[in-house]
Amino acid sequence: MRKALKCIGCFIRLGSILEHLIGLITLGWGKTVAYKVARLLGYSSCGCDQRRVWLNQLTCKSYSETISIL
């Protein structure tokens, strides 16, 4: 049972689902709006990609993607 849940977690990546849901709600302007708000608040990045990778790793331990921070 636990092994089946681990396999399902790799197919259901929470970060990717959330990213697509935000894109759907904002009509594709989600990252642009988040980036502009982050710049107004003084941040260099909105953190969208880091958050997506972190959430994907919560549901799938073998998920690996490297994000370069400029």
How confident is the model over 31-55, as pLDDT tens digits?
A: 999 999 999 999 999 999 999 989 8
pTM: 0.73
Q: What is the rounded distance in angstroms from the CA atom of residue 21 to the CA atom of residue 15?
A: 10
* CB of 27 closer than 8 Å to CB of 13: no
* More confidently predicted of 64 and 53: 53
